[in-house]
Structure 1
Amino acid sequence: MPDEEVRRLYPGPLNPPSATAPQDIDDLLARLARVRREGYAESNDEANRGVGAIAVAVGDPETGEEVSLCIAFPAATITDAERATIADALKDGARGIATITGDPLFHPLLAE
């Protein structure tokens, strides 16, 4: 979703659920830019204390359906290497789906 659409979804101040969640729209858009660049999102203590999650999104341009593949875990029990392994596995899964559906938004990440 383009930044302009995100701004329309959140026209007023954000109400962050925690200190580690995006604190304002500019913070949210900066995080989304990183997600777009890296192909996955990561959350640590954002919505639930002690919980981390890594997710990817992929869609079907023909049907308009979009899905997220996500792994949640106790944040204190996972290493940086394990986080990287999870992110890579999720991106591999999304690449497979994007190849089948022809998701043009995920396509630039297919070559990674």
Structure 2
Amino acid sequence: MSASETPGAPQVKSAVRTVELLEFFAGRPGMHSLADVQASVGYPKSSLYMLLRTLVELGWVETDATGTRYGIGVRALLVGTSYIDGDEVVAAARPTLDRLSDDTTETIHLARLDGTNVVYLATRASEHYLRPFTRVGRRLPAHSTSLGKALLATHPDEQVRRLLPEKLERLTEHTITDRERLIEELHEVRERGYAVDREENTLGLSCFGVAVPYRTPARDALSCSVPVARLTPAHEQLVKEALFDARDRLAMATRHL
């Protein structure tokens, strides 16, 4: 749902357009021409140009050397950083993330459900040499990640149906693209207490995720990512046990929130 479709109080069109523009740039790294931006957002070219120039002057949008291509500005980074710095769950999770990283020696994530996506709030890099790990602030489809599936499993089936389309985006050949099949898997997630992404988001990588039950339905989840080549049955069991322990410790640390 876009900002202009959000139900509730009457909206100011210019404010809605500003937010939608910033979300456009946040979701598409790099620089974009005016024509490309207009094709995506659909605003009249003249009003779009004036809005972009205003955002450039304020530092929320940047231009290239030619002044004809646009991208997200540094002020957006400042706002994102302040969100992370001020979040009580992120602060409470730091000792838990550090210990989980030590216990597993793998890449650890804390993420939050945001609509149909998960947003990464904190990470701990693996002790092993790997490809670059997921950045804080990155958004990924919930249905293709262990974090997202762990969080979706805390919602009733009908709510999941309202949230997700029937056909889901395919990220790899292993991604579940049928909503009803995903819901069937969410039943299993509820029973066993954890979710698994076996190369559904990134080839060569398996991830295990648990929701943190400091509220219902859950908003945040923890995950551990392991390269398939290193995922033995014994190591998988160690990761699951470490995640359950981390979930319980973080649930205790956030029980007052």
Same fold (TM over 0.5): yes
Distance of aligned partners of 1:61 and 1:45 in 2 relative to their CA distance in 1, 3 Å threshold: closer
Q: Secondary structure at the match of 1:4?
A: helix
AA of the residue aligned to 1:90 = L
| Unaligned ranges ≥5, structure 2 | 1-154
| Unaligned ranges ≥5, structure 1 | 103-112
- Residue 11 of structure 1 and its aligned partner are, at CA, apart by 3.1
2:166, 2:178 within 8 Å by CA — same for their partners in 1? no
Deviations 1:63-90 (A, max 9, x none): x873211111211111022111101110
Q: Secondary structure at the match of 1:46?
A: coil
Q: Secondary structure at the match of 1:20?
A: coil
Q: Secondary structure at the match of 1:91?
A: helix
- Residue 99 of structure 1 and its aligned partner are, at CA, apart by 4.3
TM-score by length of 1: 0.77
Matches within 5 A, 1:10-89: 10-61=164-215, 66-89=219-242
Q: Structure 1: how far apart are the matches of 2:220 and 2:211?
A: 6
Q: Structure 1: how far apart are the matches of 2:241 and 2:163?
A: 30
Partner of 1:2: 156
RMSD: 2.2
Question: How many aligned residue pairs are there?
Answer: 101
Deviations 1:11-68 (A, max 9, x none): 3322222232213011100111111111111111101110111111113239x87321
TM-score by length of 2: 0.36
